Amino acid sequence: MDSHYNEKLNLVKDFLKKNNAKLIAHYYVDAELQKLAEDTGGCVADSLQMAKFGSQQEEANLIIAGVKFMGETAKILNPEKNIYVLDKEATCSLDESCKVDEFRKFCSDYPDREVVVYANTSAEVKSISDWVVTSSIAIPLVENLARKGKKIIWAPDKYLGAYIEDQTGIDMKIWDGSCIVHEEYKTIELKKLKKQLDDCEVLVHPESPRSVIQLADVVGSTTKLINASKSSKSKNIIVATEKGIFYQMKKLSPDKNFYEAPTEGEGATCKSCGRCPWMNLNTSQKLIDIFKSNNEILLSNSIIQSAKKSINRMIEFEDKYYQEKKKVS
């Protein structure tokens, strides 16, 4: 953290208090913004947890450090609050790949299928879907639908879709989208890095290609990977997901060594990037200037109501699923 952090923290605290606002950050924004969220009583979480946390806050204004679909999810679950994102240009390649009109057409080709979409989609796409899921609950939910004899459309991430198919043996119609960060991890270079580091564990987000997932010791959501980095007995941890996550991992295990999974092959000048260009648009200066910009997330009531149904179905399923799991264990 830079030497002016405390100065900045006081400024942000004061700013949030004066404006009846709370800062909520995603694991992928830079370490400073994550720490500012933590130190001002906000939270750092995945997109759904960010929105859920927002619902429990008294403040009328929620400021989202993340990307646009996260702001939209917060608005869908908190329509009475004013939701702001730090940069309206901060989007996501998965969201961008799946425009609502094209997706509606795709779905109309398979009218007998339930539409399951990943959280990384626009509010419009969520509003025409049956289910919205996070990576942590996608497999049990798809299995549950298949047990009921339902056929499934999956969007927008083709790699996460392939991973779900591999794990469950369930055949789905999959939209052709990908995350530009996770898609870049390279198998050969990752094998070399594993060889160099004895005593290492590889943690991979399932938005990565199948060949990279096959080299993983743990595959899972951001939260699962953070927990795995803590519980791992290995000294060295290689991580294939956006590098903003290292802030939380290093905080939990300051004695471990963390390595970015390689994103480029032999001869490349940059061996690893692992940085989302849109997450990178989030800065603390934009936070201070938030009310000078036009960064409020506005959605029509009909979109909010329809998208909310699909998200709430998933939340209900998730609650039941974990209750059942608890009973069994």
| Closest separation in Å from C-beta 67 to ligand SF4 | 5
Q: Is 92 in the site for ligand SF4 (CB under 6 A)?
A: yes
Distance CA(217)–CA(12), nearest Å, equals 39
Q: Give just the sign of the alpha carbon dihedral 278, 45, 317, 239.
A: positive
97 residue type, one letter: S
| Closest separation in Å from C-beta 302 to ligand SF4 | 26
Nearer Cβ to ligand SF4 (8/26): 26
Distance CA(23)–CA(35), nearest Å, equals 10
Q: Is 121 in the site for ligand SF4 (CB under 6 A)?
A: no
Site map (CB under 6 A) of ligand SF4, residues 188-217, x = contact:
-------------------x----------
Q: Which of 11, 31, 162, 180 binds ligand SF4 (CB under 6 A)?
A: 180
Q: Which of 61, 82, 93, 129 binds ligand SF4 (CB under 6 A)?
A: 93
Q: Is 134 in the site for ligand SF4 (CB under 6 A)?
A: no
For residue 63, the surrounding DSSP H or E stretch is: strand 61-65
Interior angle at CA 252, CA 247 and CA 256, nearest 5 = 85
Nearer Cβ to ligand SF4 (120/295): 120
**DSSP character string of 208-228:** S-HHHHTT-SEE--HHHHHHH
Q: Is 242 in the site for ligand SF4 (CB under 6 A)?
A: yes
| Closest separation in Å from C-beta 110 to ligand SF4 | 25
39-78: contacts with ligand SF4 (CB under 6 A) = 67
Q: Which of 37, 132, 181, 238 binds ligand SF4 (CB under 6 A)?
A: 181
| Closest separation in Å from C-beta 162 to ligand SF4 | 16
Q: Which of 16, 179, 226, 299 binds ligand SF4 (CB under 6 A)?
A: 179
Q: Which of 21, 25, 94, 304 binds ligand SF4 (CB under 6 A)?
A: 94
Q: Which of 87, 222, 278, 284 binds ligand SF4 (CB under 6 A)?
A: 278
**DSSP character string of 37-80:** HHHTT-EEE-HHHHHHHHHT---SEEEEES-HHHHHHHHHH-TT
Residue 125 CB-half CA count within 13 A:
30
6, two tokens: 């405390």
Nearest residue to 157 via CA among 208, 203, 122, 216: 208
Nearest residue to 175 via CA among 273, 279, 105: 105
Distance CA(322)–CA(185), nearest Å, equals 32
Distance CA(40)–CA(201), nearest Å, equals 34
Q: Is 120 in the site for ligand SF4 (CB under 6 A)?
A: yes
Q: Which stretch binds ligand SF4 (CB under 6 A): 54-62, 173-181, 193-201, 251-259?
A: 173-181
Distance CA(310)–CA(308), nearest Å, equals 5
7-36: contacts with ligand SF4 (CB under 6 A) = 28
Nearer Cβ to ligand SF4 (61/120): 120
For residue 22, the surrounding DSSP H or E stretch is: strand 21-26
Residues near ligand SF4, by CB under 6 A: 28, 67, 92-94, 120, 179-181, 207, 242, 276, 278-279
